[in-house]
Amino acid sequence: MKKWSIRAMALTALCALGAPAGAQTFPSKNISIVLPLAPGSGMDTIARLYGEKLQKSLGKPVLIENKPGAAFMLATQHVAAAPPDGHTLLVATSGPMAINPSLYKQISYDPEKDFTPVALYLKSPFVLVIDPALPVKSVPELIRFMKDAKAPLTYVTPGAGNMQHLATEYMMQIFGVEAVHVPYRNSPQSILDIAGGHVNFGFVEVGSSFPLIRDGKLRALAVSSQTRLPVLPDVPPFSEVSGTPEFEAVSWHMLLAPSATPRAIVEQLHGEMKKAMADEELKRKIAEIGLIPFDTPDIEGMRAYLKSERGKWSAMVRKLGLEGSQ
């Protein structure tokens, strides 16, 4: 009996030594969620909210690590090089994952090969606003006005190649109209300049423009998502009022892990995020800041979405002659 116990114990030990890393208990230490924006941003606020829920369900501290810089790529590079054990995760947007690979001459990560998606949990739309002094009250009227204008209208963005720029160019290519691009480094100032009549229109962030829309200092014509926003229930989707049902130009927040992370860990994190983001109070808080809570697709569905977004926006970057321009 004693000999059998010793043999059994030895066999158990050998099995444990031979077990794959993914089969070990996860998590075994603190989890870091790395963000490409500074503390206090909407992305940061939301990550801290679901981070608390993950901490409770996973039983380990979940820390938010802010690494802004390099057009969101500093954080992206950091996580691409992290150990693929599920303890270091990235929140990414359309910029580093779908636009930057074609916009920049060189990047130090591969958005397809270096990451595996964990959860696509919200979409970040823009609202098309105009100077209320313009005799335009709808998207069809804006298109007609642009076609008939003696001089091109002007539009604002935070810079060439970002999502607002691509969204506006996407709209103009569909309808064969032109406008002059006025890039700003300061998004709030660009929005104020539309309200002040210095520039004519722009696809702008909802949170920054909402007070001016509410006070009648900006006229909102459409949102760039395919659904209405709770904070702007009377503003229709661009796709609905323009006769372009395929139109969608949004950023999004996706949680990702290094690509070699064991599938079992990715699935576990995916399930925990799905439960966390189903919380009605959390969804309400997301909607209140002008974002759209999103019921994440499965992992393969997210891969397909990422591929579609890369194809869509890299094609637009090429059409604009911006490939490798930064």
pLDDT (0 to 100) of residue 1: 41
- Out of 1.10.10.10, 1.10.1040.10, 3.90.550.10, 3.40.190.10, which CATH number does the structure's domain 126-241 have? 3.40.190.10
Lowest mean pLDDT among 17-21, 59-63, 258-262: 17-21
Identical fold between 30-124+251-319 and 126-241: yes
Distances (CA, A) of 215 to 24, 65, 212, 309: 56, 36, 5, 35
Look up residue 292 and give its amino acid.
Answer: I
Where does residue 71 fall: left (phi above 0), alpha (psi -120 to 50 degrees), or beta otherwise? Answer: left
Residue whose C-alpha is closest to residue 120's, from 314, 315, 306: 306
Q: Are 209 and 132 within 8 A, CB to CB?
A: no
Give the angle 239-211-95 at the CA atoms, nearest 5°.
50
Residues 155, 134: Cα–Cα separation, whole Å: 13
Measured at the alpha carbon of residue 237, what is the angle toward residues 233 and 241, in degrees to the nearest 5?
Answer: 115
Instruction: Write down the pLDDT at residue 24.
Output: 61
Q: How confident is the model at residue 260 (pLDDT cuts 50, 70, 90)?
A: very high
CB 33 within 8 A of CB 62: yes
DSSP sequence for 27-51: --S-EEEEESS-TTSHHHHHHHHHH
**Which of 6-20, 43-57, 92-106, 204-218 has the lowest average pLDDT?**
6-20
Binning pLDDT at 50, 70 and 90, where does residue 71 land? confident
Query: Residue 75's pLDDT is what?
Result: 96
Nearest to residue 290, comparing CAs of 128, 124, 164?
A: 124
Instruction: Please determine, for residue 10, whether its predicted confidence score (pLDDT) is greater than 60.
Output: no
Portion of the chain with pLDDT greater than 90, in percent: 87
Average pLDDT over residues 127-134: 97
pLDDT value, residue 155:
98
Q: Where are the domains of the chain?
A: 30-124+251-319, 126-241
Spell out the residues 6+ positions from residue 62 whose beta carbon is closer than 8 angstroms to its own. Answer: 30, 31, 32, 33, 51, 52, 54, 55
Of 84 and 160, the structure prediction assigns the larger pLDDT to: 84
pLDDT of residue 38 exceeding 50, the answer is: yes
> pLDDT by residue (tens digit) across 153-194?
999 999 999 999 999 999 999 999 999 999 998 788 999 999
pLDDT at 88: 98
Q: pLDDT digit string (tens) for 276-303? A: 999 999 999 999 999 999 999 999 999 9
- Rounded mean pLDDT of 107-136? 96
The confidence band for 134, taking pLDDT boundaries of 50, 70 and 90, is very high
The pLDDT-based confidence of 220 (bands split at 50, 70, 90) is very high
Output the pLDDT for position 19: 41
Selected from 3.40.47.10, 3.40.50.720, 3.65.10.10, 3.40.190.150, the CATH number assigned to the domain covering 30-124+251-319 reads: 3.40.190.150
Mean residue pLDDT of the chain comes to 92
